[in-house]
Amino acid sequence: MNAKTDTAARERLKAIIREKSFRDGVDITLASGRKSDFYFNMKPTMLDPEGAALLAELVLDALGPDRPDYVGGLEMGAVPIVSWTTAASHRRGVPVAAFFVRKKAKEHGARLLIEGLGPDETIEGCRVVVVEDVTTTGESALKAVDAVRAAGGEVVRVLTLVDRQEGADETMAKAGMPFSALFTAAEFRTASGS
């Protein structure tokens, strides 16, 4: 994408997120345990045909010219992101492989924590960008970072679709982890009058 197309795609994706995935003026408990009056449920956007296509292209663009070997992240939120992004990378001719990290290893079968790698495939020595759908404190993303590091991968950045701006940047800074977001909560809260 060029800069003009990228801006248009970002604005269109933001509109889809606002319509399908953002709620303000609610009373909700987040996965982090915090109470909030606004909420992002990115699954309707990630599973919308246009939303998925735009998301994949923008995530791929956000990886920059120095592409990682892999994108991956914690189940469930990262699974659609990495699936669409790896497909978009193939279409562009700049393949980036993908995987996801289970919250806990299965108790049967291969008992893997990291899923999606072929029988002779490993992330050891590979550069990885960990992706997440919505980031609050950053603790969930760090679980994926820890799993990648334990498997010998080098995490070069954490990339989130939406940063709720509730401490993730500080958490990542303390962990020495570069962190970026496609969108911030302020972009949606301002637009909705909050």
Q: Is 90 annotated as a binding residue?
A: no
Q: Write out the two tokens for 87.
A: 């497909």
Q: Is 50 annotated as a binding residue?
A: no
Could you write out the DSSP letters of every residue in 106-152? -SSTT--SEES--TT---TT-EEEEEEEEESSSHHHHHHHHHHHHTT
Q: Is 72 annotated as a binding residue?
A: no
Q: Is 187 annotated as a binding residue?
A: no
Q: What is the rounded distance in angstroms from the CA atom of residue 81 to the CA atom of residue 50?
A: 13
Q: What is the rounded distance in angstroms from the CA atom of residue 68 to the CA atom of residue 60?
A: 10
Residue 82: name the closest of 64, 97, 102 by CA. Answer: 97
Q: Is 106 annotated as a binding residue?
A: yes
Residue 9: name the closest of 46, 78, 64, 61 by CA. Answer: 61
Q: Is 136 annotated as a binding residue?
A: yes
> How many Å is the maximal CA-CA distance in the chain?
52
Q: What is the rounded distance in angstroms from the CA atom of residue 169 to the CA atom of residue 4?
A: 28
| 49-62 and 3-20 helices, crossing angle to 10° | 130
Residue numbers in the known binding site for 5-phospho-alpha-D-ribose 1-diphosphate are: 102-103, 106, 108, 132-140
Residue numbers in the known binding site are: 102-103, 106, 108, 132-140, 164
Residue numbers in the known binding site for orotate are: 136, 164
